[in-house]
Homo-oligomer: A and B are copies of this chain.
């Protein structure tokens, strides 16, 4: 996950927020030097430090931080320090905070679920905010989860509709012929289909919207056929029920961590003229 891609997105985010210019801060542009501290207003798992820093690199301020992605911080922690002329510091403030508060919100949710999931990996889905996926996927990774596929060109994920239209076997065969370099995963919602997929030799099977007991049975039967096939469990899983699924899953994917995890509370204090 190269800096470059993040940087290009961040330039676009700055254009979105600044447009032709910050007309209010322009009024005091002559001010040479201010400092800012980003402060955690609650405890959480940190994500997005480098990305927030890039915002200030782009506007023209300098920054530093003692924290790394995945660190857990307490309320009151000074997460990041910023320094520079007033224009770059104030025009970057909101975007940097928006990035930090959402990425950390996601990392915190992933972290909490992961603790409940035992050895199973918590994974994201494609239920991300349009235009911000790269950062949401990265927050999942920094929170200890698996980003799953980035988009539709990444891997073969044969879903219910593909199967309904063309049949599971036909699609699996075509996928393998199209490229040997991408994994093939099949989404199923019954034990029988899980077994069918396992016999076709796919790499991964997604058990969608199945009860814990169905998942357990499917898991055991698939692993018996081939222990290398990975089992992903999916469908309205959250803190309340993840522990029931976890023992019979390699991966538990969860839309809510990207589409509904609340942002964490952060603010930036400006220090001037000391």
Q: Answer yes or no: A155 CB below 8 A from chain B CBs.
A: yes
Among the listed stretches A73-81, A141-149, A189-197, A217-225, which one makes contact with chain B, having 4 or more residues with CB under 8 Å of it? A141-149
Q: How many copies of this protein are present in the complex?
A: 6
Q: Please determine whether B178 and A272 come into contact, CB atoms closer than 8 angstroms.
A: no
Q: Answer yes or no: A153 CB below 8 A from chain B CBs.
A: yes
In the bound assembly, the distance between CA atoms of A59 and B97 in angstroms comes to 27
| Chain A 150-209 interface residues, beta-carbon cutoff 8 Å to B | 150-162, 164-166, 171, 174-175, 178-183, 185, 201, 203-204
Q: Answer yes or no: A71 CB below 8 A from chain B CBs.
A: no
For residue A86, which residues in chain B have a CB less than 8 angstroms away from its CB?
165
Q: Please determine whether A28 and B165 come into contact, CB atoms closer than 8 angstroms.
A: yes
Distance between A183 CB and nearest chain B CB, rounded to angstroms: 6
Distance between A226 CB and nearest chain B CB, rounded to angstroms: 8
| Chain A 252-266 interface residues, beta-carbon cutoff 8 Å to B | 259-260, 262-263
Interface string of A106-144 (1 = CB under 8 A from B): 000000000000000101001111111111000001000
What are 28 inter-chain pairs, A to B, with CB distance below 8 A? A1-B23, A16-B133, A17-B151, A20-B153, A23-B155, A23-B156, A23-B175, A24-B159, A25-B152, A27-B162, A27-B174, A27-B175, A28-B166, A28-B171, A28-B174, A34-B165, A90-B161, A98-B126, A99-B130, A141-B179, A148-B179, A148-B181, A164-B272, A165-B270, A183-B183, A203-B203, A228-B228, A259-B262
In the bound assembly, the distance between CA atoms of A95 and B127 in angstroms comes to 8
For residue A97, which residues in chain B have a CB less than 8 angstroms away from its CB?
127
